[in-house]
Amino acid sequence: MELHFFKYQGTGNDFVIIDNRQHIFPKNDTKLISKLCDRRFGIGGDGLMLLENDNMSDFKMVYFNADGKEGSMCGNGGRCLVAFAHYLGIFKEETTFNAVDGLHFATISGKQVKLKMIDVDKIHQKPNHSFLDTGSPHHVQLVDELEKFDVPKEGKKLRYGIYGESGSNINFVEQKAEDAFRVRTYERGVEDETYSCGTGVTAAALTMFELGKTAAKQIHIETIGGDLIIYFEKHNGKYTNIFLEGPAEQVFKGTITCSI
């Protein structure tokens, strides 16, 4: 079959996106999804997303990791899908869509997409790292000289060594200023370092506030692929009104022949 696709990226986190409102895509074909995400034998991407109709909101987000398995929430993916829905004319300036972790509100202005994330009730503190769920599970750990740090090696070690087969995303953080941090992430499902991770930088920002490393509630995060901003409030120990903001843009579109 010939499949029409779009390629989007948000701070270097890149995705294959398909308009599946007519239910044309074989969602159970993990081998096909993995091949489409392959950078040598397919289109290439950190994940694949389907935009579908939803009776509760403007559209539904269905996200698959690069290994072909359906994944948990992806923040940069959500921002890219919002940009795609805007391109399709589904909404003008603001939207609500359904994802695996529930409903998300978002706005768009030019290439900037601001996405509301789920509330966070608990950040688990360990001796030298923290763990929390921002729609996906995240390990957050402060390190020195992040630029020289071997993220793929150390991330893989922690991803399997602590969290087993189900795994967690692993984030390494370095403070740059009172309200600014640099983050590098090893993502499960991709099983490598990615240029950026939306739920990961959100987890890092909340953790740095929780640890007292910053008093700011608007935190700037530098990733390999670009800059993101996280906004939040904290009331009675709970993080609410969490927003992830950054650029999302269409890179190219085309057709690919698939064997099914």
Decide if 37 is catalytic. Answer: no
Most distant CA pair in the chain: distance in Å? 54
Query: Is 171 assigned to a binding site?
Result: no
Query: Is 13 assigned to a binding site?
Result: yes
Residue 197 buriedness (CB in 10 A; 0-12 / 13-18 / 19+): buried
**Six token digits for residue 85:** 């829905």
Query: Is 102 assigned to a binding site?
Result: no
Catalytic residue among 37, 74, 80, 258: 74
Query: Is 147 assigned to a binding site?
Result: no
> What is the SS3 string spanning the chain?
CEEEEEEEEECCEEEEEEECCCCCCCCCCHHHHHHHHCCCCCCCCCEEEEEECCCCCCEEEEEEECCCCECCCCHHHHHHHHHHHHHCCCCCCEEEEEECCEEEEEEEECCEEEEECCCECCCEECCCCEEEECCCEEEEEECCCHHHCCHHHHHHHHHHHCCCCCCCEEEEEEEEECCEEEEEEEECCCCEEECCCHHHHHHHHHHHHHCCCCCCCEEEEEECCEEEEEEEEEECCEEEEEEEEEECEEEEEEEEECCC
Query: Is 188 assigned to a binding site?
Result: yes
The CA distance from 105 to 109, in Å, is: 14
Catalytic residue among 37, 80, 197, 258: 197
Query: Is 198 assigned to a binding site?
Result: yes
Query: Is 128 assigned to a binding site?
Result: no
Query: Is 76 assigned to a binding site?
Result: yes
Decide if 80 is catalytic. Answer: no
Query: Is 155 assigned to a binding site?
Result: no
Annotated binding site for substrate: 13, 65, 75-76, 169, 187-188, 198-199
Q: Give the residue numbers marked as catalytic.
A: 74, 197
Annotated binding site: 13, 65, 75-76, 169, 187-188, 198-199
